[in-house]
Structure 1
Amino acid sequence: MGKIGTDDRWKIVPPIIEDLKKKAKSLGLWNLFLPKYYPEDPGLTNLEYATLCEIMGRSHLAPEATNCSAPDTGNMEVLAKYGTEAQKRQWLTPLLNGTIRSAFAMTEPNVASSDATNICTTIRRSGSNFIINGRKWWISGAGDPRCKVYLVMGKSDPGHKEKHKQQSVVIVPADTPGVTVVRPMHVFGYDDAPHGHCEILFQDVKVPVENIVLGEGRGFEVVQGRLGPGRIHHCMRSIGLAERALEYHILRATDSSRRTFGKLLAQHGTVAQSIAESRIEIDQARLLVLRAAASIDSVGPKEAMNEIAIAKVVVPTVVCRVIDRAIQVHGAGGVGQDLPLAYMYSGMRTLRIADGKKMFALHDARHLA
């Protein structure tokens, strides 16, 4: 499809989402992701949240229904950690209430964004405003009609002698003149409407200097604070997704109506082995995630960078293998529309790329004092 807005799927959010959000709020299952060292938190540690996040990861709807879905979680943590009181009132409060959604604009099409120092979107100071020019893509959530604000990373001081202090992050309301959502990007044919992963053009976008996050030249600090916990949340949810895929695998392998050469599929050695391999790999990956979550609790995301990076690299790769085995045992049905396995695989295969890029961003942030 072309531009956002040419299809009703980009304008309508399924009503069940709001119904589930009301129910989650009434049960106290709301904003569980925010660690207990923030005043807005629900009182959980990252380790405690990890076990809940795994359960939510089993469902495509559960993270949003509990206001624990990306990219909002990372953006809310940025605003909670670095935002001014005015920024919190304007953006954090409605995000915490679940009345709006947000996006984080970092990746660009014309540079190797795995090295975030390459980012070439410009953030130029002009009197009491910043002027933003550049093109971003794979901006998750930008297609959602409830998306009201972007956190945009760009270069505010390209001549600074320290390359990790050339960037800044600014808050850009989605309806600011000069912001154009060009198109949704497709993942193996899925466009994820109405959420989307969009290409966005910023042309002479003007925002007040008060919209800077933390300060000029401190973009990498913001990225570090956002992507560490945010990426480990992806890993937590991914473990839940893997468990669900393994359940599909086992149900298929033990289905009495499915026999080959007179045996249940599970009675064939290769099928039994594939189930065992998935069980082993999921349990190993889960321990890496829990270790990373515990490390964030004890020493903070910056000092837990190695544990986060290890989990981020291992988990999507493992989960891809688990889903792939589940697809294989289902035969052609595994890649069709009657089961969620193909969609699950497309999202997890994409996460392998996203996690790799963000790992480099976190690695770069270690250069900061």
Structure 2
Amino acid sequence: MTDRAPYAADPANHGGREFPARRGGHDTAEPGERRGPRTDFQRDRDRIIHSMSFRRLKAKTQVFIAPDGDHYRTRLTHSLEVAQIGRVLARALGLDDDLTEALCLAHDLGHPPFGHAGEAALHEAMGRHGGFCHNAQALRTVMRLESPYPGFDGLNLTWDVLEGLAKHNGPVTAPNWALAERDAEFPLDLKTWPSLEAQVAAVSDDIAYDNHDIDDGLRAGFLSLDDLLEVDFLADQWRAVERRFPGAPRDRQLRELVREQIGLMVNDVLTHTRAQVEGLGSVEEVRGAGRQLAGFSPEMAEHERTLKAFMYEKLYYHPEQVAAAERARDTVARLFVAYSQDASLMPDEWQERLPQTDPGRARTITDFIAGMTDSFAMRCCAQIYGERPRGLTNV
């Protein structure tokens, strides 16, 4: 294993936890103290894996809404694939791979049902009350909503994990209400760049969905080889695959194309990031660098932007996808209206915690809906309105 780099986050010297370690009554440690076989970042990862919010990702949309097929990715399998790429990058760079893995596994915990379509519906419904953002909702989830311990709300993750979730895409200069509330209660230094582990988690997410969405799009028939060959970067890799595996079944060649691209992107990130961090001696210097250090080279970044534009045109904005997204948005919007008008439609435990006035009331209703799986949201809509939403399965 690669030696720990001087600019890596240190689980024995992390930024602490919001609540004192002993309040939870479970195996944890104060900063600098080691109890049991796990580091604090390993404990954080395990708390995320054992959370109900993580388990529910198995039935939340990644690309296709409520797909019939068993082989399409969900938010859960996507998160696992992000974590696999993240660990590879972190180990090769000498970073803390447990912190990286925890961030990769938790980055989508705030996603509502039906992916970005559900997020758009909740943002519109919450327009008068500060809107909705899945990144901020992930932080709200691990800090307040997911509460298995008797001594405090939330999972009581280390500052380093919370910081990485809050700003894995970079500094936050205008936090929405959810992020601002959490930052006020446990300051996360929002205006600086995060650790390299958080930056690696972000680029791992890009690598995973850029390429695995191609795989799912091909399986669904929304993308074809001819489509892929319109992108020079993909065409170059396809020709290389054909030369290496002439006569192989087409489906295996296409899967090899996806693997080849992931490898190219991973190696590019390693080369570029090593050059960017040369001479840095601490994680504090990473946060104070004032720029992104872990990511694609300028050339690969341009390829990646071209690939994203292609995927939006051919897959994400495919007419069938757009139609399904509109039906999904309508389902979420109708749920919000129903619960706002009649709170008795919500489970007892949610009624008990529901404030009487806004914005707290609307935000709690949003918390309930955001935690739903695709299938549960459709069942709730059917129970309230008398019919199951139609046309949401588009593959």
Instruction: Please indicate the TM-score interval, normalised by the length of the shorter structure.
Output: 0.3 to 0.5
Query: Under a length normalisation based on structure 2, what TM-score does the superposition of the two structures give?
Result: 0.32
Higher relative contact order (CA closer than 8 Å, sequence separation 6+)? 2
Normalized per residue, the structure richer in strand is 1
